[in-house]
Chains A and B, each alone.
Chain A
Amino acid sequence: MDLSLEDRTEGDRTVVVVGGEIDVYTAPKLREKLIDLVSAGNYHLVVDMEAVEFLDSTGLGVLVGGLKRVRAHEGSLRLVCTQERILKIFRITGLTKVFPIHASVDEAVAATD
């Protein structure tokens, strides 16, 4: 399955729903999407990863790049993920300390810390 990307606004947050496979081939599309959103002034992003079927370290790099971009505008990038294999990859790489990870979009949108 290819990568699917949709975004919507919820309050002052922009929710990006990612589906399919984030790999060395599709990661540039996700990078472009995050860059476009930040360029358009969306600095508080929630990336919903519940429909992601594959994620490699290239995809991790794109998410970290997105985080750096929103932080340059004092923004935030929160992840929504309950898939154990993806959470494991975030733990292995120490990125659970870098990204706030939430169990639902509602929780991520409501988070303020």
Chain B
Amino acid sequence: MATVELQLSPQPHHVRTARLVGVAAARRAGLPDELVDELRWALGEACSRAVALHAAHAPDVPVRVLLREDSTGLTVEVIDQGPQGPPSEDGDLAALFEGDEVDPRVSLAVLGGLVDDIDIAATATGTTVRLRWPLPPRSV
């Protein structure tokens, strides 16, 4: 099992760092190119959401990102300690865009649309977004 863990202070430019690390880990794990790109978009979205929540509500607390590879797949967890909003909604989200702020529900809906295997779990202190991709069998 191989694990990469990042702790991001909630500053916007670190979201790009997380995307780059995620792409590197996914390539190394052998994820096909198309899914590497999917991971890049989804990890970026999840980190944008978490960093924005921390910047507003928990500026001294880092966002945690875990990339874990095992024999069957690659799991990405983005762990925040932001306030838990209402659950994501289906359908017309356009009404959730107010001013220049983006409702976190929009972000969760985008994630749900991008990735097939996704789990959004409330924790005692925030939310964990878990994304998972299967890995092709390794040739020996």
- A contact residues vs B (CB 8 Å cutoff): 21, 23-25, 31, 54, 56-58, 60-62, 64-65, 85, 88-89, 91-95, 97-98
Which of B69-77, B100-108, B125-133 is found at the contact surface with chain A? B100-108
**Are A23 and B48 neighbours in the complex by a CB distance under 8 Å?**
yes
The 8 Å CB contact of A94, one of B49, B91, B102, is B91
The 8 Å CB contact of A57, one of B16, B49, B92, B99, is B49
| Chain B: CB-nearest residue to A96 | B94
Are A54 and B110 CB-contacts (below 8 A) given A61-B100, A65-B99, A97-B92? no
Q: Does B31 contact A (CB under 8 A)?
A: no
**Are A60 and B97 neighbours in the complex by a CB distance under 8 Å?**
yes
| Chain A: CB-nearest residue to B45 | A56
Residues of A within 8 A of B66 (CB): none
Residues of A within 8 A of B99 (CB): 65
**Are A54 and B40 neighbours in the complex by a CB distance under 8 Å?**
yes
User: For the complex, what is the distance from the CA of A110 to the CA of B109, rounded to whole Å?
Assistant: 33
Residues of B within 8 A of A64 (CB): 94, 97
User: For the complex, what is the distance from the CA of A22 to the CA of B74, rounded to whole Å?
Assistant: 26
**Are B97 and A58 neighbours in the complex by a CB distance under 8 Å?**
no
**Are B16 and A93 neighbours in the complex by a CB distance under 8 Å?**
no
**Are A88 and B100 neighbours in the complex by a CB distance under 8 Å?**
no
